[in-house]
Structures are given as structure tokens and as C-alpha cells.
Amino acid sequence: MIAETLNIKIQKTTHSRLAETDFSDLHFGKTFADHMFQMDYEDEQWKNAKIIPYEKLQMSPSLAVIHYGQSIFEGMKAYKNEKGEIFLFRPLENFERFNRSAKRMCMPEVSEEIFMESIRQLVLLDKEWIPTAAGCSLYIRPVMFASDEFLGVRPSDTYKFMVITSPSAAYYSQPIKVLVESKFARAFEGGTGYVKASGNYGRSLYPSKIAHEKGYQQLIWTDAFEHKYIEESGTMNVIFQVGDKLITPPVSNTILPGVTRDSVLTLARDMGVTVEERKISITELVEAHRKGQLLDAFGTGTAATIAPIELIGFEGEDYMLPPVSERKLSTKIHAQLEAIRFGKAADAHGWAMKIN
């Protein structure tokens, strides 16, 4: 249950961009709904909760976040079904992770009321922006950044918490080609890999660009120490089907505890599938492929949901995966996940939160 006591000042736009938005040609994260939420942290408390028209920010060139990257974010989605019911999917998991990210980055936490009520009121105000075409949803992006105007390296005293939303299609429109990364690392023991610190994503760009130039859309990240064990794929968790088991690296200091990852594993277990959360080496994967046992590989994430991997490149060799039409298990899990998200299937775990 969400408390409704947070006093949010609402200033509605006088010029909605809804009519000029082409909902038949949505991509990921390119179009933004009419409004955004903003709140300030000053004098050790959150204040000035407001929803205002989506607009550019005024920034000082000395803004702490630009210089030292004290910034965190979340990714969530809102879904609308034919009855006009609007759902968030496991939003409290995002709330808790947001505060874990805040703690690791030395930032103030937000209350459950601030997080949930800002999102609920913003999504309901812009509910016409929730796309209903298959595979589409309203992507929700809560973000917090350091807003002191100061060049000394220390935690900022002031922060902004904002929520913007974007009607979006799935992140990937096609199965992806991924390259095993054996030199660069996304995360390392003691680092920030287990939270959504913005810098995690910035540092991934250069190795990803090199992979792109070689014809791969994404990387499979390996451990920073030996580059032997699989960690994540691109911005997603990664899951493999070997025979009739699902295998995925366990969440750790270096692996993000993905909400979609957990949902997929839970649904698989509900279906009686054996799930192993354990270290998996590239050598083991290549061996499973050689024996014809590597039946599926896919990334999981809020933006991408389930992103099938077409092939895995490693040491000059491309290991092809079976066509998506043959991947019965992940297809079944994906369909069930979508049905729960839209309030259309029994929701045994209470994951879909109706907000209207």
C-alpha cells in the first residue's frame, strides 16, 4: 500500500506533445512524456516535491556530478492493459536497490513514500503516454545526482532526485551477437558493480565500442581478476540453458541483482526447471556448446526484458545458438512474465502493482 501523504506540487504543461508523437514508431528511450518529477535534498532533508513540464535543466558548470560522477539511477516500466488498468512491476525491488546504490555512492536515501508516490503520480498524470502495442511500455527512469557547486572531492551536501518517463519499445529488436571480453572489466571486487551507479555504464562504453567495430552488439563481461568466469552481458544479467537446466552467475559484489533476472529464475523454478546460480566459466560454456548442450543464452534486464543471444564470440570463434523459434523454455517464461506484467495471468508472487 502506498501512502498518499507526500505533498507534490503539480504544474501541468500547457502544450502537450502527445498528439505529435508517433506511437507506431517507438524506440527505446528517445521520446519523453510531458512531465517530470523533481525533488531537492538540502539541509539534510528532501524538499520541494514537484511535477513540472519535461524541460531542460539549468546547470552550473561546477556541478559536482559532472566532475566526479556521484550519480545513480533505476529502470522500471509501467504497463496498461485493455481495461485501462495500469501496473508497475515489483517496484519495491527497485526502491530498495535505489537506496543500496545511494548508500554505496555516499548519497542520501529516499523514503518509500517519495520513491513510490513520485512515480505513481507522474505515471498517472502521463497515463496517455503508456503505449499499448505488444512489447511496448512506459519506461520509468528515477535518477539522483550530486548538485553542489564545488570542485573539492567530497560527498555533495545537496542532491536532486528526478523521475522522467519514456514510451518505449524493447531495447533490442533482434537477437544479439555478443563477444566475450577478456581484457577490460565492468566491475571488480570492492567496486560498484552490484549497484546502479552511472559510472558503471560510462566505463563500459569503450570496450563495447571495440566489440561493435568487430560486428558484435554487446559484450559478455568476465571477472576482472582472471577473465575466466562469466559475469553479465552488456547492461543485462545473463542466463544460459544447458540441457534442461538454467545456469547463471550468482549475484555478488560485481553482479547487479536484476529484478528481471530474479523473476525469470523464480518462474523457471515454479515450472519445475532446475536453476543453478553458480560460477560458470567460458571454458564450461564452450564445452557445453561443443557437446550440443548449449540450447539457449539470453540477457535479462528491465529495458530488454529477455534478449536472446544469437551467437557468442570467443578467441576468434563464433559459437552459434539455436534459432529463437527452438528456444521453448525462455519463450514460455517470457510470455508468462508479460502476462503477469499486464495483469493477465495469475500473479502467485504478487509482483504486479496496480496503481489506478
The residues of the shown chain that bind ligand COI, judged by CB under 6 A, are 75, 171, 201, 235, 301-303
Let me know the angle formed at the C-alpha of 1 by 121 and 29, rounded to the nearest 5 degrees.
Answer: 40
User: For residues 33 and 17, what is the distance between their CA atoms, to the nearest angstrom?
Assistant: 8
Q: Any bridge partners for residue 276, and if so which?
A: 247
Choice between 236 and 295, CB closer to ligand COI: 236
Choice between 28 and 54, CB closer to ligand COI: 28
Q: How far is the CB of 196 from ligand COI (least distance, A)?
A: 6
Cβ neighbours for 255, distance < 8 A, ≥ 6 positions apart: 187, 193, 194, 231, 232, 237, 249
Q: How far is the CB of 216 from ligand COI (least distance, A)?
A: 17
Q: How many helices, marked H, and strands, marked E, lie in the chain?
A: 8, 18
Choice between 236 and 355, CB closer to ligand COI: 236
Choice between 75 and 193, CB closer to ligand COI: 75
Q: How far is the CB of 146 from ligand COI (least distance, A)?
A: 20
Q: How far is the CB of 10 from ligand COI (least distance, A)?
A: 26
Grid coordinates belonging to 344: 493477465
Grid coordinates belonging to 264: 525469470
Let me know the angle formed at the C-alpha of 259 by 257 and 265, rounded to the nearest 5 degrees.
Answer: 90
Choice between 74 and 117, CB closer to ligand COI: 74
Residue type, 311: L
Let me know the angle formed at the C-alpha of 143 by 142 and 148, rounded to the nearest 5 degrees.
Answer: 150
Question: In the bound complex, which residue of the shown chain has the CB atom lying closest to ligand COI?
Answer: 75
Grid coordinates belonging to 346: 495469475
Q: How far is the CB of 150 from ligand COI (least distance, A)?
A: 28
Choice between 185 and 282, CB closer to ligand COI: 185
Q: How far is the CB of 75 from ligand COI (least distance, A)?
A: 2
- Which residue intervals of 55-104 are DSSP H helices? 64-68, 91-104
Grid coordinates belonging to 4: 498518499
